[in-house]
Structure 1
Amino acid sequence: MAKQKKSPRPKAETPKGFRDYFGAEVTHRTEMLAKIAAVYHRYGFDALESSGVETVQALGKFLPDVDRPNEGVFAWQEDADSDKPGDWLALRYDLTAPLARVYAQHQNDLPKPYRRFAMGPVWRNEKPGPGRFRQFYQCDADTVGASSVAADAEICAMLADCLEEVGIERGDYIVRVNNRKVLNGVMEVAGLSGDDKEAERGIVLRAIDKLDRLGVDGVRALLGEGRKDESGDFTKGAGLDDVQADVVMGFVTANDDISALFQNLHDVSHPSRERMASVFESATSITGVSYEASDLDRKMASGLRNFFAIGHLGQLVKNSDVGTQGVAELNEIVQLLHAQGYGPDRIVIDPSVVRGLGYYTGPVFEAELTFEIKDDKGRTRNFGSVAGGGRYDDLVKRFTGQEVPATGVSIGVDRLLAALDAKGRLDKTADGPVVVTVMDKARMADYQKMVAELREAGIRAEVYLGNPKNFGNQLKYADKRGSPVAVIEGGDEHEKGVIQIKDLILGAKMAEGATLEEYKELPSQYEVPRDQLVAKVRAILDSQS
């Protein structure tokens, strides 16, 4: 009889695109989620925890590839090998599509508008890369059933508050706001509206989205015949003529144009003076606010960034009804935010924000961290986006057949944690427990009683449960746990009714180079009566904080 081969041992390795989180990392994330949840709750949003699995049908067009339901998501078919295979199921790709399903399913029982927040992991079966994982946390808040742009303005204000609540200082972030209706208006003015232009619009949108990588010239090439990259590969363009391309490029370079006008506000001899006056006139007609450019103080002018943006965009889409509506909505958002004290130092109108997801129908927003970091190759770059969202009035319609207005935002918690780490604002060492050492296994009950007293006082503590034979190993264990204090009670201490309490943090610092005099002045081990255990440990912990 042939000898059966042994099954190979499984490899102890994390699947590609996933990672494990330990100690302080988990604690930091939990604390951040709690802070964001507190802001969401303060704004009146209720918590929702939906299923981590949805039917592929429910995810629908929001899948990366609807024709291959197992691509882009982690999906499987129930009873796939049976005569009657069941539904295709998938781990949720985001938290927004599940919300649409929940609202459609329970709409008769939910308040209208329905304001919910949700937090948890999502999964994407995509190629992983540096800082890009297949499982990550999202932190969403959405309002379903409110058509007013006041709901969008509220989301923007709440997003700014969340960033500051978790430790991103004002000046290190900006919330950028645009409106898909403005972009639709640009498309209409450029002659790209209608079902027969869907392919060209797709190429144009993808080209605009590559502005940061390709620059103005690269985008312009993709609007025309196409572009050949450095490797010689050719990407077919949208085939627009020069007039059409000029319209789109007016939108692409809008941010630079607005900044240039703003910077040259007081230069009465600047060539763009006539253009500036035209933008002022446009902005005044849209906002109802009038300024005299030549009389403006520079400090006052710093608050006019959004005023310039609205005027410039108004001119771009003045021949489009949908574009004009989009600019009017942006103006209303600015006015509502201004009334609450949110100015352009935190929230700006920015035409460069083009959210990639197809279901956005109105205002879109993105939170960007503006400070610089070093990438893996040592190059300096801005940290970039950590949150985004917008209005998606057609999402629920897939289930109900009726349009239901909705708007929301999703915060990338892992990105925010990475940002705080880059700024040096995360303590990477977990607060370890007080360790009660074991000097006599026969008196384990005494040691457990000590731990119970510490825990009842709200102090994190544990008894050493390894082999107590080598006392040095117990202290090494405490050091590896990051323990602040070790409690020691041998037979002699027990007979005298005392305990030894060792300040491990101070002891480690002194071991790094303290002089004999410093060592005598700052003892790191104390003998105290047994009944002073909790008081002395708390005093040491307070001195360490």
Structure 2
Amino acid sequence: MSEKNKKPQKLKARLPRGFVDREAADIRAANQMMETIREVYERYGFDPIETPLFEYTDALGKFLPDSDRPNEGVFSLQDDDEQWMSLRYDLTAPMARHVAENFQEIQLPYRTYRAGYVFRNEKPGPGRFRQFMQFDADTVGAPGVQADAEMCMMMADTLEALGIKRGDYVIRVNNRKVLDGVMEAIGLGGEENAGRRLGVLRAIDKLDKFGPEGVKLLLGEGRKDESGDFTKGAGLNEDQIAKLTRYISITATGTTHGVPVKDAGRDVSDMQTYRIGEVDFYTDNLATVEGLLAVAGDNATALQGIEELRTIAALTDAAGYGSLRIKIDPSVVRGLEYYTGPVYEAELTFDVTNEKGEKVVFGSVGGGGRYDGLVSRFMGQPVPATGFSIGVSRLMTALKNLGKLGQDEVIGPVIVTVMDGDVESMGRYQRFTQQLRAEGIRAEMYQGNWKKFGNQLKYADRRGAPIAIIQGGDERVQGVVQIKDLIEGKRLSGEITDNAEWREARVAQVVVPEAELVAKVKEILEHQAEDRSGPQPKDYKSEQPIYEGND
């Protein structure tokens, strides 16, 4: 075949690897969830801001990207002035840039929230995408850990507002200064060890995913995953690994840090409880803080971190948030290097079934902490800050698991059918549609091939339309419209087996004057809403004949 007669090659439609299309149900569920989160954040006095998807690469933080590889971890491009720009990796670094750039106009403490997509140039996998949504809240300019304590309380309130009951979640809290002090003690202090410290943080942050043995491998030479890919470790020696392992093994669920319930002398209903042998214990956050002193030694950094944890424990306890909701837990580290003090993580504690059919704890849906150095990079002066980020997609999955999201039926639009295609008739149909919309009723005029009326009703059925509006030539002359209750019609059609009986029944249709169209549609929609919440009697009576075909 000659080049001239060659058929042009059809373009293949391909979704980019690591990305996902979102359908209407997921978008509506996300909007529903985020509106609840907004309500809680606004109640705490936070205000919204929005930053662009792109930032100059150097503004994203010293931990990303590698100076020689601008696309390592982020998606980057060069502007026409040869400056590197990158799609934002998270929402915190852009917010820090915004604060620094507008510092003279901003009222401190600056309390803000924002939601949006972030992008990571990482290997995609099951449930792990390169584009995903986060919902953040931050307080800038508040040096005291009372801001961190309040952030944890706000997260607890948010999860409960979303329908997650107490006992099914916990906000776990630690302080990076404690771990920093331990790392100083094993010879990992100083700027020269910044890379190795980051490796340690990322390794310990995988404790829930890989367990103690997997973390040991990541603290050492590295770990190979099931696909054969090798993750380079922090390169620590055996003595350093042993000391860090002892630190992360300190948890708040042991007799050293627990108090027997029988000795409580107080209401422990808001405390995390557990059983060892025949004895029930409850976790006391202040007792857990005291237990950390055993590993801190005389390291000043670690002791400062422990004192800050003591303050957080006292504040949350005084506000009525016991360890069932907010729990001091030394195994929380968060993987990013910019955290400088308290760190916290929201974990859902109920079981779900994974892809292998195994029962597993759902796990983390968000986290954050204090990052006093992030805004300061732009300012040359100390600017304290703390914040929290929710993983929107993961939290949505959890809420769907609990039946708390996406359960509401979305009602389709009222369909105004088209019986005649001339301009005058089409204008009339469009007027009906706009009258419905003006009253807040979801409606659309049929836009397909109007000459096949049966296809219009099939379309209405596929759209989940509750009502169809019909006006042919006869009705137009009389100044009336037919209103067909599609929900009731579908129900009654199941009770009729004979076609002649169907025509005689003339089910679920009513004829009204054009002026009464909106009022009658509202009435039918109200009856349908009542039926969805419980059986109610319905009676749409009309002496007018139903429409039985195109005229």
Q: If the length of structure 2 is used for normalisation, what is the TM-score?
A: 0.83
Q: How does 1:135-214 map to 2 (within 5 A)?
A: 135-195=131-191, 201-214=197-210
Mark the runs of 5 or more structure 1 residues left unpaired by the alignment. 80-84, 268-292
Q: What residue is the counterpart of 1:466 in the other structure?
A: 448
Q: 1:120 aligns with which of 113, 116, 124?
A: 116
Partner secondary structure for residue 448 of structure 1: helix
Superposition pairs for residues 57-456 of structure 1, below 5 Å?
Answer: 57-79=58-80, 86-195=82-191, 201-220=197-216, 238-240=235-237, 242=239, 245-255=241-251, 258-261=253-256, 265=260, 293=263, 302=273, 304-424=283-403, 425-427=405-407, 430-442=410-422, 443-456=425-438
Q: Secondary structure at the match of 1:534?
A: helix
Are positions 1:38 and 2:39 aligned together?
Answer: yes
Structure 2 distance, partners of 1:300, 1:413, is 27
1:542 lines up with 2:526 in the alignment: yes
Instruction: Give, as a single letter, the amino acid of the residue that structure 2 aligns with 1:61.
Output: K
Q: Which amino acid aligns with 2:349?
A: T
Asked if the contact 1:179–1:363 (Cα under 8 Å) also holds between the matched residues in 2, the reply is: yes
Asked whether the 8 Å contact 1:69–1:75 carries over to 2, the reply is: yes
Alignment CA distance shift 1:119-1:234 (3 Å) = closer
- In 1: Cα distance, 2:75 partner to 2:204 partner: 30
Contact 2:368 2:387 survives alignment (8 Å) = yes
Offset at residue 223 of structure 1 (A): 5.5
C-alpha separation in 2, matches of 1:435 and 1:233 = 57
Supply the distance in 2 between the matched residues of 1:166 and 1:460 (Cα, whole angstroms).
27
- CA-based RMSD of the aligned residues comes to 3.3
What is the rounded CA distance, in whole Å, between the counterparts of 1:376 and 1:238 in structure 2?
A: 33
Aligned partner of 2:534 in structure 1 is none
Task: Provide the rounded CA distance (Å) in 2 between the counterparts of 1:318 and 1:185.
Answer: 9
Q: Which has the higher helix share?
A: 1
Indicate how the Cα distance of structure 1 residues 58 and 370 shifts in structure 2: closer, same or farther if over 3 A, else same.
same
Query: Aligned to 2:351, what secondary structure does the other structure show?
Result: strand
Change (3 A) 1:210 1:26: closer
Displacement of 1:516 in angstroms is 7.6
Matched letter for residue 540 of structure 1: I
Name the amino acid aligned to 1:351.
P
In structure 2, what is the Cα distance between the partners aligned to 1:234 and 1:36? 36
SS at match of 2:253: helix
Partner Cα separation in structure 2 for residue 438 and residue 445 of structure 1: 10
Shift in CA distance, 298/73, structure 1 to aligned 2, threshold 3 Å: closer
Aligned to 1:82: none
List gaps (5 residues or longer) in structure 2. Answer: 274-281, 530-551
Q: Using a 3 Å threshold, how does the CA distance of structure 1 residues 32 and 89 change in structure 2: closer, same or farther?
A: same
The 1-side partners of 2:407 and 2:481 are apart by 31
3-state secondary structure, aligned to 2:363: strand
The answer to whether the Cα contact below 8 Å between 1:429 and 1:482 also exists between their aligned partners in 2 is no
Q: 1:108 Cα shift?
A: 0.8
Alignment partner, residue 280 of structure 1: none
Give the 3 Å change call, closer, same or farther, for CA 174–446 of structure 1 in structure 2. Answer: same
Shift of residue 97, structure 1, vs aligned partner:
1.0
How far did 1:88 drift? 0.9
Query: What is the CA distance between 1:91 and its match in structure 2?
Result: 1.4
Q: Determine the C-alpha separation between the residues in 2 that align with 1:29 and 1:234.
A: 34
Relative to structure 1, is the Cα distance of residues 262 and 27 closer, same or farther in structure 2, using a 3 angstrom cutoff?
Answer: same
Deviation of the 1:305 alpha carbon: 3.2
Cα distance between partner residues in 2 of 1:96 and 1:59: 9
Of the candidates 499, 516, 521, which is equivalent to residue 532 of structure 1? 516
| C-alpha contact 2:270 2:323 (8 A) present in aligned 1 | no
Q: Which amino acid in 2 is paired with 1:67?
A: D
Asked whether the 8 Å contact 1:62–1:97 carries over to 2, the reply is no
Are residues 364 and 445 of structure 1, via their aligned partners in 2, closer, same or farther at CA, if it must alter by over 3 Å?
same
- CA deviations over 1:441-481 (Å, ceiling 9, x no partner): 34222222221221121111111121111111111111222
Shift of 1:38: 2.5
Would the aligned equivalents of 2:171 and 2:327 in 1 still touch at CA under 8 Å?
yes
Query: Partners of 1:34 and 1:10 in 2: how far apart?
Result: 39
Q: CA deviation at 1:115?
A: 1.6
> What is the TM-score of this pair, normalised by structure 1?
0.84
Structure 2 vs 1, CA of residues 493 and 370 (structure 1 numbering), >3 Å: closer, same or farther? farther
Counterparts of 2:212 and 2:174, CA distance in 1: 19
CA contact (8 A) 1:141 1:410 kept: yes
Total equivalences in the alignment: 511
Q: 1:435 to 1:131 in 2, by over 3 A?
A: same
Cα distance, 1:87 vs structure 2: 0.5
Distance change in 2, residues 1:65/1:487 (3 Å)? same
Shift of 1:311: 2.1
Equivalent-residue separation in structure 2 for 1:212 and 1:380 (angstroms): 14
Paired position in structure 2 for 1:17: 18
Range that drifts further, 309-318 or 496-505: 496-505
CA gap 1:134/1:439 in 2 versus in 1, 3 angstroms: same
Is residue 499–residue 529 contact of structure 1 (8 Å, CA) maintained in 2? yes
SS, match of residue 62 in structure 2: helix
Q: Give the drift of 1:326.
A: 1.1
Give the C-alpha shift of residue 367 in structure 1: 1.0
Kept in 2, the 8 Å contact 1:204–1:238? The answer is: no
- AA aligned opposite 1:418: T
Q: Is the 8 A contact 1:258 1:309 kept in 2?
A: no
How much does 1:172 deviate?
Answer: 2.6
Native 8 Å contact 2:257 2:291 kept in 1: no
